[in-house]
Amino acid sequence: MRFPDITIAIDGYSSTGKSTFARLIAEHFDFLYLDSGAMYRGVTLFAQEQGLIAPDNTIDPALEKALAGLDLHFAPGTVLYMGERNIEKQIRSMEVSSQVSPIAAVPYVRHYVDERLHAFAAAGRVVMDGRDIGTTVFPDAEIKIFMTARPEVRAQRRFDELVSKGESPVFEEVLRNLQERDYIDSHRETSPLRRAEDSFELNNSEMSLTEEIAWVEGLIRGKFGLLNAPEEV
Ligand code: CDP
């Protein structure tokens, strides 16, 4: 069965495995995957490199104008580029993680990212993950998923990911960073992280990736099977 050309929005807390899940959906069902968090991470790296964010997270208002000259895009596949430069590794560092949530709380930054996400998704058949995809960016997405998992499970996943990338993280620091980001993301004024009423919750603390794929396949089949039912009678 080829699934219909729909938009799938996946939201949830940090390190719930949204991007792994979204990537798998894209591969399995032939969708375009867009990682909105990577865009916020890209803006954060840019602000750091331009000296527009201080160590205490004070953001220089000059960032707003500077964004006009920032070219962030995904190369074929899901690798983020700043102009000609592949910034995929840098945007996943703890240095960027530690300042991304204050940056993502700024309304003009959200506007910058939303505009690009809409342009990238124009062709349809997209799976996108983030914090506000089902509530703000694509409120009409046909399938909305809200992912959760226990905090220790999430911190362990992020810790393992950083280790596999050659970093030497401290577990408590990783856990603290997740909790801080969750707090800022849920309490900011513009597009806070919250569960869309029409979303399906997926708690994957104890689930394998194979089980997650089976779950979403059932969800999509169920939804479109039901919609098609009257025509089949
Ligand atoms: O991978 P992880 O779940 O840790 O985070 P991410 O998806 O890479 O997103 C990094 C940060 O960007 C989040 O902590 C949010 O502050 C912000 N973000 C957001 O505000 N809205 C989105 N749609 C996606 C990310």
Q: Write the pLDDT tens digit of every residue in 135-182.
A: 999 999 999 999 999 999 999 999 999 999 898 999 999 999 999 999
pTM of the predicted model, to two decimals? 0.88
pLDDT per residue over 15-52, tens digit each? 999 999 999 999 999 999 999 999 999 999 999 999 99
Radius of gyration of the chain (CA): 18
CA-nearest residue for atom 16, ligand 1, is 101
Which residue intervals of the chain are DSSP H helices? 18-29, 36-49, 63-66, 88-91, 94-104, 107-120, 151-164, 171-187, 209-232
CA-nearest residue for atom 10, ligand 1, is 37
Does the pLDDT value for residue 230 go beyond 80?
A: no
Let me know if 180 is exposed, middle or buried by CB neighbors in 10 A (0-12, 13-18, 19+): middle
Classify residue 15: in a domain, yes or no.
yes
Tokens 């939303």 — which residue?
114
Tokens 């603290």 — which residue?
176
Q: What is the CATH number of the domain that holds 125?
A: 3.40.50.300
Residue 2, pLDDT score = 66
Classify residue 227: in a domain, yes or no.
no
Classify residue 191: in a domain, yes or no.
yes
Residue 58, pLDDT score = 97
Classify residue 200: in a domain, yes or no.
yes
The boundaries of the domain holding residue 214 are 7-219
CA-nearest residue for atom 18, ligand 1, is 37
Q: How many domains does the chain have?
A: 1
Residue 123 confidence class, pLDDT cut points 50, 70, 90: confident
Ligand 1 pocket test: pick from 36, 109, 189 the residue with the most ligand atoms within 8 Å of its Cβ: 36
Round to whole Å and give the CA distance between 8 and 144: 6
Round to whole Å and give the CA distance between 34 and 122: 12
* Structural contact between residues 34 and 127, judged by C-beta atoms closer than 8 angstroms: yes
